[in-house]
Amino acid sequence: MTDMKQKFTKMKAAFRKQQNPDFASRDLHLSRLADLITENTKAIIDAITADFGHRSAIETQFGETLNALTDIKHTRKSLAKWMRVEKRHVGMHFIPAKAEVRYQPKGVVGIISPWNYPFAMAINPTIAALAAGNRVMIKPSELTPKLSELLAKLIAQYFEADHITVITGGPEIAQQFSALPFDHILFTGSTKVGGFVMQAAAKNLTPVTLELGGKSPAIIDKKYPMQTAVEKIVSGKLFNSGQTCIAPDYVLVAKSSEAEFIKTYTETVRQFYPNIGDNDDFSAIISEGHFERLSGLITDAKEKGANIIEIYPEEVGKPCNTRKMPPKLVTGITDDMKIAKEEIFGPVLPVVTYETVEEALDYVMDRPHPLAFYGFSKDNNFVEKILHNPLAGGVCINDTLMHIVQNDLPFGGVGPSGMGSYHGFDGFKTFSHAKAVFRQSGINARKMMFPPYGKTMDKLLKMLS
């Protein structure tokens, strides 16, 4: 804790000496971050694979390193424009005065990153914080110790300790980290832990951005081609073995289409992944504890009457030393089941049926606001109902996951699924203070508002109102 406080104090002092770095300085640090990634991609992949037991190298590149490099490229290309002074309008009665907004760095930003995308979820917020001119302290997850150790080593090689630093350790260190008087904290993780982070930050009146999770639904219009919808859902659900905060958590299908969906989903999964245990494309569950949690959700659902559909019955009970869980479907879900209430975060997909789209949307709206909502339809009226009614962090039509990699779209949740947003210009704004500036002109009627007030002021007020 003493070491962490000393690093924080040095970082605050360094920021005081350079409170608003110019474009060249910010661009240089973004360039260094890109070099860090391109020069150490294999080491990053190997570390994450070791932490997971097995992690698809392709998924690590798509979800971690390429994701971050694309974000850096977009940010560097746009940063000069983002940093410009924004001209704003003044009220008619104040012309010819001028108004503007200047985006200024907040100071030292604390980033608490999760285990499911341990590199990207540490680096992507850092990109936004550096673009805004801040200094950054990162606390990665203790569940990915090899990646955390590598990240600390690489950051120390490419950056000065008073510009970016990494703090490693367990839950106690994380609690002490979130209690530091940062100028902004971004936390990515569970809703429960997010509440603790917010409580700690409140003591210092530190603004907080929370990127949480929840149960993100996918709804399929019965007129939409089933094969097309299922392929996108399988791809989004089983990427990183379902350990993605915006993975489809459950699917809503027309009651008359349930059998077709189950058949198509089963066939598509087996086509994408001919086997699970020995398949390099299929990632493992992060830890034994999380594997047991998923198994507990399935057992609870089965005991309460749900039907568990094993897509790989030949692999059930087969020994696997990398914690790979074969994908499953669950039907007959009821509200008293844990799987209906808790975020799944694994390769298990509940199927919920509906008679009308209004019934399906009511089912979604009766639950906490999801981080993502996926709709599959070619009917504009169906799509507009999806866009108009449920409140969700983000919506993706006729695909899954792809909205998060659009650099010009904000990413964030609502209520239990998060608070605030980042990515692209929205990330730049999150880690900046929008300073309002009013420039009074030499010709103005300001003296008319000075006391003592009299009939002239009465006339002025009547005119203005």
Residues with a catalytic annotation lie at 211, 245
Rounded distance, CA 311 to CA 355, Å? Answer: 26
DSSP 87: E
Query: How far does the chain reach from its first CA to its final CA, in angstroms?
Result: 58
Quick one: tokens of 399? 């695909």
Q: Give CA–CA dist 390/364, Å, rounded.
A: 7
| d(C-alpha 233, C-alpha 288), whole Å | 26
Single-letter amino acid, residue 455: K
Contact, 265 vs 234, CB < 8 A?
yes
- CB contact set of 54 (below 8 Å; sequence gap of 6+): 280, 283, 284, 322, 324
DSSP-derived secondary structure letter, 415: B
- Rounded to 5 degrees, φ, ψ at 328 are -145, 155
Long-range contacts of 188-191 (CB under 8 A, 24+ apart): 188/112, 188/113, 188/114, 188/121, 188/125, 188/212, 188/245, 189/112, 189/114, 190/343, 191/416, 191/417
Question: DSSP 3-state assignment of 114?
Answer: coil
Sheet harboring 86-88: ordered strands across? 86-88, 98-105, 432-439
Could you give the dihedral angle defined by the CA atoms of residues 18, 85, 407 and 130, in that order, rounded to the nearest 10 degrees?
Answer: 0
H/E element holding 50? helix 41-52
Report the alpha-carbon distance of residue 135 to residue 26 in Å, rounded: 10
Q: For the chain, count helices (H), then strands (E).
A: 17, 16
Q: Which amino acid is at 224?
A: Y
If you search the block for the tokens 């010819």, which residue do you land on? 96
Task: In whole angstroms, give the CA distance from residue 241 to residue 249.
Answer: 12
CA distance 280 to 288: 19
| Cβ proximity of 232 and 219 under 8 Å | no
